[in-house]
Amino acid sequence: MIKIISDSSADLPKELIERYEITLVPLTITIDKHDYLEKIDLTPQEFFTKMFSTEVLPKTSQPSPASFAEAFSKFDTDTELLCLTISSGLSGTYQSACIGKELSNANVTVFDTLAGSLGHGLQIIRAADLARQGHTADEIVADLTDYRENMNILVLLNTLENIVKGGRLSKFQGSLAKILNIKVILDRVEGGKVEIFEKIRGKKRFQKRVLEVIQERKTDFSSITFGITHTGNKEDVEAMKQAIIQKFHPKDIIINYMGATMGTYAGKDGMIISF
């Protein structure tokens, strides 16, 4: 039986982590010079409370190679391990896991999901299901590679405040965007990075355009599971969920809080839709 390992940024609901017996290696979150282990010392809700009340943007650090080596070494050498990490285009976690593999004697395959949040999490669930069906690590990686290439990840920014805090936008530009009620859609691009896809004025136009973009990406959603993560804006998420169900009739929708890694990008009332 293959065991699944991941870093803590995958944003899977606790019940799914427990159901599939997934081992998580935590990232470190630094807020006001204090370090916290993600989802151990700090819940997503606690993280957002702290983030929204500080002027300095929190920072996240990938787990050390030693942390991965320790997690791998907890299993006996006969156990086959598959470690799925956040995109190497967003974090150095994949590289840490690869070094951790070399430091341990474990039988481990490290896979770069080229995704964040539940885009990463959906790949973990798929890998765990395939493992339970008896597939080999090579077979799972081949399947995930195809699944990864066809995945869409849309990051919806309701405010550009965190983009300003992070120095990617000037305060003037941020203030102008606020006055003009500009919302932004970020899209995953080659290499697992995210870039600005479109800017829209007004919340209703924004929500309508998101649904249009989803429709442009696929024709049949009957076998598709959506993952939606948020920074506390549950009403917006529920409205989006219902719109997706009515318009696309997907197989399933998984909803959870966004973790610190992507939440730092998304900011207040942010949302990530993966499918």
Share of the chain above pLDDT 70, in %: 93
Mean pLDDT score, 112-128 = 97
**CATH topology assigned to domain 3-27+62-149:** Rossmann fold (3.40.50)
Residue 20 CA from chain centroid, whole number: 18
Residue type at 154? Answer: L
pLDDT at 161 over 80: no
- pTM, 2 dp: 0.92
Place of tokens 């030693």: 66
In the chain, list all ranges with CATH 3.40.50.10170: 3-27+62-149
What counts of helices (H) and strands (E) characterise the chain? 11, 13
The two tokens of residue 186 are 């970020």
Using left for φ > 0, alpha for ψ between -120 and 50, and beta otherwise, residue 271 falls in: beta
In the chain, list all ranges with CATH 3.30.1180.10: 153-274
Mean pLDDT score, 179-196 = 83
pLDDT in tens, 245-268: 999 999 999 999 999 988 988 889
Burial class (CB in 10 A: 0-12, 13-18, 19+), 39: buried
pLDDT in tens, 130-147: 999 999 999 999 999 999
pLDDT at 167 over 60: no
Angle at 258 between CA 274 and CA 212, to 5 degrees: 35
Domain with residues 153-274, CATH architecture: 2-Layer Sandwich (3.30)
Listed range (52-56, 120-124, 125-129, 174-178) with the worst mean pLDDT: 174-178
pLDDT at 4 over 70: yes
Burial class (CB in 10 A: 0-12, 13-18, 19+), 171: exposed
